Amino acid sequence: MAIIQLQGLSRHYGEGETLVKALDEVSIDIEQGEIVALLGPSGSGKTTLLNTIAALDIPTEGKYNFDGEDVPLGHVEKMTTFRRENIGYIFQFFNLLGDLTALENVLLVQDLAGSRDKKKALELLDAVGLKGLENRFPSQMSGGQRQRVAIARSLAKSPRIILGDELTGNLDTETSTMVMEALIKTCRKEKMTTIFVTHDQSLTRFATRIIRLDSGKVVDDEKGGLKSIVNTTKFVAESVVDEAVGSAKKLTSKIKDFAKSIVE
Ligand SMILES: Nc1ncnc2c1ncn2[C@@H]1O[C@H](COP(=O)(O)OP(=O)(O)O)[C@@H](O)[C@H]1O
Ligand SMILES: [Mg+2]
C-alpha cells in the first residue's frame, strides 16, 4: 500500500475575484522508497503541496492518508506530533541554529523527538561527508556544507519521509550535485521516501519518479519514464553491490579471527 495517499486535495486562497487555487484536486499515491522530483513553474503549487504533505498546511478540501491512516488535518497538536514522528524537512536556506555546532544542530532534532543518539548523529554527519567538521558552527562552513548539515539533521530522527523545498536553490551546480548525492545515498540506505522540489531539470536524474505541477494541477506523472527506470535499476544494482561488499568484509574479518585463533 502507498505510504502517502492524496485524494482530491485542494488548497484555495481568497475568494471570488481573488480566488487562487494553489492546489486544485490533486490525487497522488506515493510508495515507500520512491524518490520523487516535483517540478513546475513558479506559483504552480509545489511548496503548498510539500507543506500539505508535511502537515504544515491544511487543505481546503480532500483527504490525506499516511500509512493507512487519515492525517489529523486541522488538529494543530496532532499535526505537530505527526510531523515530528514522520517528516524530515530540508529548507532552501538551511535554517540551522547559528549558535549551535553542526553536531548540536543534529542532536537537537533527536532531543525534540525524544531520542538522543550521538553515535547515529556522528554517523549521519560522516555519511554526508562532514567527518571532522562536527564541532564547527554554521558560520564557519560553506553553503554546501551547511546544507549537508541540514540533510543530516533531517535524517537524524529516522523519519519515514524526507521533503526538500528547493534545497539546492542557492548553491552552485557542482555543490548542488554533491548535496543531492549525499541526500539520495543516505535516503536510499535508510529506505526513506523522498520528495524534492526543484527548478533544476538536471536534478531529475536523482529521481525514480517525476511529477509536474501547473496551476495547482498534476500535469505529468512520469513513473515509468526511461530515466526513472534507469535510476531504479541503478539503485537496485548499487544496493546489491553494497550488500556484497558488506558480506565480503564480514567474511574477511571472520577469516582473520580464525587465522588469529590458530596463531594464538
Ligand atoms: N499565504 C498565501 N496567501 C495567498 N496566496 C498564496 C499563499 N501561499 C501561496 N499562495 C499562492 O498559491 C499559489 C501556489 O504557491 P506555491 O505553492 O508557493 O507555488 P510554488 O512553490 O510552485 O512556487 C501561488 O499563486 C501563490 O501566490
Ligand atoms: Mg515554492
What is the reported pTM? 0.83
Q: Which segments in the chain show pLDDT lower than 70? A: 224-243, 246-247, 258
- For 14, the domain range is 4-223
* Same-domain status, 148 and 239: no
Q: What are the C-alpha distances in Å from 48 to residues 26, 56, 117, 249?
A: 11, 9, 32, 46
Minimum CA distance residue for ligand 1 atom 27: 43
- Given a contact cutoff of 8 angstroms between Cβ atoms, the answer to whether 135 and 61 are in contact is no
* Same-domain status, 176 and 234: no
Q: DSSP alpha helices (H): ranges in 29-158?
A: 46-53, 76-86, 102-112, 118-127, 143-155
- Given a contact cutoff of 8 angstroms between Cβ atoms, the answer to whether 106 and 149 are in contact is yes
* Same-domain status, 116 and 147: yes
- Given a contact cutoff of 8 angstroms between Cβ atoms, the answer to whether 48 and 23 are in contact is yes
* Same-domain status, 14 and 111: yes
Q: Can you read off the three cell numbers belonging to residue 17?
A: 475575484
Minimum CA distance residue for ligand 1 atom 6: 13
Given 223, 238, 255, which residue is the final one in a domain?
A: 223
* Same-domain status, 61 and 83: yes
Q: Can you read off the three cell numbers belonging to residue 35?
A: 524518490
pLDDT digits (tens, 9 = 90+) for 118-141: 999 999 998 888 999 999 999 999
Query: What is the domain count for the chain?
Result: 2
Q: Which of 12, 13, 15 has most ligand 1 atoms within 8 Å of CB, for mutation?
A: 13
| CATH classification at residue 170 | 3.40.50.300
* Same-domain status, 152 and 194: yes
* Same-domain status, 121 and 56: yes
pLDDT digits (tens, 9 = 90+) for 41-70: 999 999 999 999 999 999 999 999 999 999
